[in-house]
Structure 1
């Protein structure tokens, strides 16, 4: 754990267990170790240069198909089986570019110098990227990403993928493609990606407020707001009655919260607690953190850094005749997010029950305000 980052403690005592902080599952992976090295700020010997971090952050945030993003990652490390690399591995002797036959087929020639490549970048309005005087391929690639907009980076990545793919088609299928044909394919592919994003957005809008539809029992939604500088968070909990109408809201402040991950889990715990307090026999608890919801659904012992909180949530399931945990999109959870954010900003806890809601939610004699 980082300095000043406390470990969440369980309400119900249980045996300690070892966890790996870098993965949500609590299990070690090389990927998470690499990520922790990127975030390291203690030993300069372990710091990864800023240009590397910026490049990969931008690459992974482009939301490209995995086949393209991974190919660009391989290009950045020169892990492609170019003819020059294959000769180094003693697989082939011929290193001449199969397209132009003029130069050796290395990573720089494929994506910067080949006449077909030059034509692709020119027709894609990206001719400026090959006008650079930067010699090293890695330095050139990071410079291109730094100088490009998000839309340009997408075109560059798709262009590189189609260039590499067309080279393989030429070698294995004896089919050649011109720079004009490739640039047209890049434009079509980008348009398809944008169309998919638009349809996905429309679909999410059509599904909005789905949690307000009548369910078998009451619905409780939860969300969190987290301040990583102060290690404080606020849980926002909203109760929807059987008719789908707003029934109650509650916010709870927390201190010494180690991470947003733990803050989300604490909000889930508060939602479960509120269901018990209101004597609800059947309830559906919903949140927009898919990982937290999966952990709450599981009956297995959670081995992650929030294992203590998940253990508390799981132990409270016996207080209900029926309890379900379900994932919802952020757009369907706006009220819980809003009240959590306002509670953290004002540093105030609130509890509000709407008395004109379904009276069956509140057994006779049950208080309608936070008890003293």
Structure 2
């Protein structure tokens, strides 16, 4: 049996839903699957049954050191990882991001039997929000081009990014597009309704009848501030924010809500496992994603939360960004707004609340979207790539 290694040292498995689905697909393709990750207290889930777990973390070099000492430390860590990889006799190594791909390429140069490499990019890496200097982007571009041309194949999360990357690097082989869709969830309508009623009872003193939710990482750039101000304009609406945030940002959001009169109609919830999101998203009237166009990576975003709302049969209000806009129009499952325009988002919320014919059509259209925008469909593309490029 051939061995497939998912390389993600330093990254937790508990929140790596896309990586777990990829590993399950590799198992289905007949591989022995090994995950190299880091999460000290991780308890293996049923989803990873049969996957061999190898905890590993690159050790940081603390304090001030000479350039020679820094490189000596880096090479030492590469050798340590190389030994772990070599001990598992990989035939294929799927790399979670560009830094992992770089390390895998370097250390496997010394293997007598070199494994095939897969570059699994989860965003538009060259134009990520943190890459601001042109010098840094040019360096990363040269590195990515060099490494992608030495991979069996690469994976991008949507068509726009795949097209851009192929053009930038003049690649003969277009990256394979695997969108970050969840499995086709089975919904328990009674459980959803119980949760919805519990939320409405909590908001009963405020007269709330319409629930909007943003879920995922709570951070600037996601348009959450706009969402709070828009909900404030609709007295019967409330906003639920579900996910992790740092204390300072949460205080900022609470201050905004207080200033615009929505403090009593804003609630924070902790993150939940991916396979439980439907209990919360399904209880909402609408899922909002007013993501701001801060960089090309954001411009081409097609986030997990989009598909998680679809799987929860919840209509969406999304930013006017190409990938989300295309799917909203194609399936007729929501509305498009200008992400930094409070009035525009408020009008979208109000239409969802009052135009029952339109809202019901969105709900009906979500049934088709749910069947088609799921991992069961997306997985077939990945399995085809395994057969085409790895055999």
- TM-score (normalised: structure 2): 0.28
- TM-score (normalised: structure 1): 0.29
**Greater RCO, CA 8 A, separation 6+:** 1
**Larger-Rg structure:** 1
